[in-house]
Amino acid sequence: MTTKTTAPVCHNDHMAEVMERFDAWWRHQPQDRPVLELPVRSTRPRPPCAPGQSCREWWMDAEARVAEMLVELRHRPYVAETLPIYRPGIGPDLSATPLGVEIEFSDTTSWSLHTVEDIDDWIPYQSREPDFTNPYWSAVRKMTELGLREGAGEILTGLPDLHGTYDMLVSLRGPENVCMDLIDDPDLVQGTAMHFARIYRESLQRAWEPFEAAGQPATTWIHFANDRLAFVTSCDFLCLISVDMALQHVAPTLDLENEPAERNIFHLDGPGALRHLDWLLEREDLDAIQWVYGAGNGPARRWLDVYRKTLDAGKSVQVLAEDPDDALAVVRALGSQGVWISLKSEFDSREEAEAFVRVVESSLR
């Protein structure tokens, strides 16, 4: 499919070091420096859509997408714990496609078409069996298998992005309607949600099968590494409901969602979700928190109290730093134990990224 570089992108010795440092991060152990994800600009960016294809055709074209992405990844240097990761997928609504959801596409994103028009329409979904032969799931499975084969030994393939249970309901019905349904008939919605949680759990187990067969570590759209199944659990719907409602309805679905993975990081998205941090930190099945403060709410150093609360609870954190100065401010404030710094900006060269690693190390001496 693609012409490989003469040297592997990810050497075995480097991968072993990365796995060791991530293992300490997952377990919230002291380290000499934080985990550092420092992207360096690619010399061959990937085009948004292939010429002559519609957006839908491009998103669903497993061969073309894998080939283009692997070429781009092979044109990037990788410094510290930055990993070459190909992420197959068609967007997070993939998790609802076994329930019949249809997906629309643009150049850069995708979204679901809401098909549940009335609250009573949830009733047949409480016993609906998932269809994992649907075209979306089949395309992502093909991308996964191609990525694992074509990138073997130099590039990691990631598990697909899967929205959690209540976001699956939103895929079918829309966020405002799900909110109203929880008020009008909470038992009906929760019964549907628990069925969806079991389907989500099966989806994650199915998604992991080719990785386990290939013997590849787990990674996702959050670029960690773990030798057994680890995953990103989330519920963007939390922004719309109270803590009491979340404990009653969302928490039981997380019990099922988190069960298959050895390790879980929770994607907490937006300031409106912060009211849920305390009860999430009490969950034993969560090892870490990714706090996404959102556009216009940065930089990361503005949210040191959130990171400190998370670390004090014994959970690790992924910090999305705006730039090197922001990252350095966070490191100086928090130290290294349980801290993973992911830089949102890119360095222009390997040398610049390596120099920043030395700056971080010297700041902790």
Summarised one tens digit per residue, pLDDT across range 126-166 is: 999 999 999 999 999 999 999 999 999 899 999 999 999 99
Bridge partner residues of 85 (DSSP): 156
Contact 84, 156 (CB under 8 A): yes
In this structure, what token pair is assigned to residue 67?
């080939």
The pLDDT value given to residue 155: 94
Residue 3 counted as domain residue: no
Q: Please state the domain count of the chain.
A: 1
Count of Cβ atoms closer than 10 Å to residue 135 Cβ? 12
What is the end-to-end Cα distance of the chain in Å, rounded? 47
Helix (H, G, I), strand (E, B) or coil at 313: coil
Amino acid at 15: M
- What is the average pLDDT across 292-303? 95
Contact 341, 319 (CB under 8 A): yes
d(CA 237, CA 300): 23
Contact 189, 220 (CB under 8 A): no
Residue 186 counted as domain residue: yes
Residue 1 counted as domain residue: no
- Work out whether strand 339-343 and strand 316-321 pair parallel, antiparallel, or are unpaired: parallel
Contact 322, 298 (CB under 8 A): yes
d(CA 237, CA 243): 12
DSSP H or E run through 343: strand 339-343
Residue 7 counted as domain residue: no
In this structure, what token pair is assigned to residue 104?
């629309």
Summarised one tens digit per residue, pLDDT across range 251-296 is: 999 999 999 999 999 999 999 999 999 999 999 999 999 999 999 9
Q: What is the CATH number of the domain that holds 319?
A: 3.20.20.210
Structural domain including 140 reads 12-363
What is the signed CA dihedral for 134, 137, 140, 144, rounded to 10 degrees?
-120
Q: What is the pTM of this model?
A: 0.94
Is pLDDT above 60 for 1?
A: no
Residue 313 counted as domain residue: yes
In this structure, what token pair is assigned to residue 242?
């109270």
In this structure, what token pair is assigned to residue 79?
């410094």
The pLDDT value given to residue 149: 95
Residues in CB range of 191: below 8 A, 6 or more apart: 126
Is pLDDT above 80 for 10?
A: no
The pLDDT value given to residue 9: 66
Q: What is the pLDDT confidence band of residue 69, given thresholds at 50, 70 and 90?
A: confident
Summarised one tens digit per residue, pLDDT across range 164-205 is: 999 999 999 999 999 999 999 999 999 999 999 999 999 999
**Between vectors from CA 222 to CA 134 and to CA 271, what angle results, nearest 5°?**
100
Residue 152 counted as domain residue: yes
